[in-house]
Amino acid sequence: MKTRMMLLRLTAAVIMTAVAPVGLCERICIEAETAENLTAPMIIVGATTTNAEKVKAASGDAYLEIPEGSGNPPKVNSGSAVFRFTVEKDGDFILWCRVWWNGECSNSFTMQIDDSAPFAFGQDGTYKAWHWVKAPPNLKCLKLTKGEHVLIVSNREDGVKLDQILLTTDRKYVPVDVETPSGIRSANAESK
């Protein structure tokens, strides 16, 4: 009986150690097309739009786009999307975005978190394919406190697409394919 109790305690301890580390990391995944306050030339491309081939590979069958030729600053300064999300506890976050770039002059967004200084996101060399890109390292604005935050994605170059946004405190995690969305809708529902 004593041995059995010890075995039970040991099993419980093993299970708890196995589960605990997962809960330490926070993960927020937002579908780009759930943005609020969208301004042109940033648009939502969905299943009903003509770009069917690219839509197929996008999570949720939809994404945001600043169409090629629709203009970038200083010619066209407008074009933005606003995302609201809730952080459970203070943490250093890594920001990833699943994007599609048309080319060298179509491979970046301007991003801003809360009232922090805006930063350039992207400028990598993977074109005409959905892929994940990480925000520049050591951004102070990614030290997020518990509570609601705002991410603004805006026009820097046209010919760009945004499918998903991932914020995680897991520094080792590297997204590969589409991610399971969490985040914005439930966060909004909770705050209302």
Looking only at residues 130 through 169 of this chain, which bind Ca ion when binding is defined by CB under 5 A? 163
Nearer to Ca ion, 103 or 147 (CB): 103
Shortest distance (Å) from residue 5 CB to Ca ion: 51
Nearer to Ca ion, 54 or 91 (CB): 54
Nearest-CB residue for Ca ion: 60
Shortest distance (Å) from residue 177 CB to Ca ion: 13
Shortest distance (Å) from residue 128 CB to Ca ion: 14
Looking only at residues 43 through 102 of this chain, which bind Ca ion when binding is defined by CB under 5 A? 58-60, 63
How is the chain classified by DSSP, letter by letter?
-HHHHHHHHHHHHHHHHHHHHHHHS-EEEEEGGG-EEEETT-EEE-TTSS-HHHHHTSGGG-EEEE-TTS--TTT----EEEEEEEESS-EE-EEEEEEEE-BTTB-EEEEEETTSPPEEEE--S--SS-EEEEPPTT-GGGEEPSEEEEEEEEESSSSEEEEEEEEES-TT----S-----THHHHHHHH-
Among 28, 30, 31, 132, which residue sits at the site for Ca ion (rule: CB under 5 A)? 31
Interatomic CA distance for residues 16 and 179, integer angstroms: 26
Nearer to Ca ion, 94 or 179 (CB): 179
Nearer to Ca ion, 108 or 168 (CB): 108
Nearer to Ca ion, 91 or 131 (CB): 131
By CB under 5 A, is residue 107 in contact with Ca ion? yes
**Residues interacting with Ca ion, by CB under 5 A?**
31, 58-60, 63, 107-108, 163
